[in-house]
Amino acid sequence: MGTMTGLAYALPRLAVYLLLAVIVALIALPFLWMISSAFKDPTTIYAAMLDERYRGTIYRSDLASDNAYNTYQHTGLPPGPIANPGAASLKAALAPASTEYLYFVAKADGSGRHNFSKTMEEHNRAVGAYRKAQKKAVAEPEKTGKPHRRA
């Protein structure tokens, strides 16, 4: 699978809103050149889903899984697509926007939106906020008025 095609296949899992696909593509592209394992979290989640053990968040046991789609354990792109790319994802992969963001994590509110970060420190704070909100939503679902959505 080509690099751009692989990126296009991964984008629908990375961004729920099509407008975010361009920003997500720009963030993902540098990592294709900087590191050999791209899209680690989405592919690891996909691997856990294939193994019927995904629990709404990534655990150390998921990171250690030998599933071929787990890019924490296997270098490069996964052996096949993890989603079906649409026209917006293909366009975003071929013509990404210009931004200084390097990292992103989903917001825990179930909106499909993301927090974008320029530094690992900012990203770690966003991941911490995501995990804290996830735990709170699981512990107190009745206060939100809607059931907690799992990714």
Domain boundary among 84, 99, 114: 99
Q: Could you tell me how far CA 121 lies from the centroid of its own chain? A: 18
Last residue of a domain, one of 55, 84, 99: 99
Question: Does one domain contain both 133 and 115?
Answer: yes
94 and 69 inside one domain: yes
Strand partners, 114: 106
pTM of the model: 0.53
Check whether residue 14 and residue 41 sit in a common domain: yes
- With beta carbons less than 8 A apart as the criterion, state whether 57 and 135 touch: no
pLDDT for 100-149, tens place per residue?
888 888 887 878 888 888 888 998 899 898 888 888 877 775 554 444 44
Nearest partner of 110 among 7, 16, 21, judged by Cα? 16
| pLDDT for the residue 38 | 38
State which of 99, 118, 134 marks the end of a domain: 99
Q: Backbone phi, then psi, for 20, in 5-degree steps?
A: -75, -20
Say yes or no: 1 and 35 in one domain. Answer: yes
Phi, psi torsion values for 105, nearest 5 degrees:
-145, 145
- 116 and 27 Cβ atoms separated by less than 8 Å: yes
Range of the domain at 125: 103-151
Q: What distance lies between CA 147 and its chain's CA centroid? A: 22
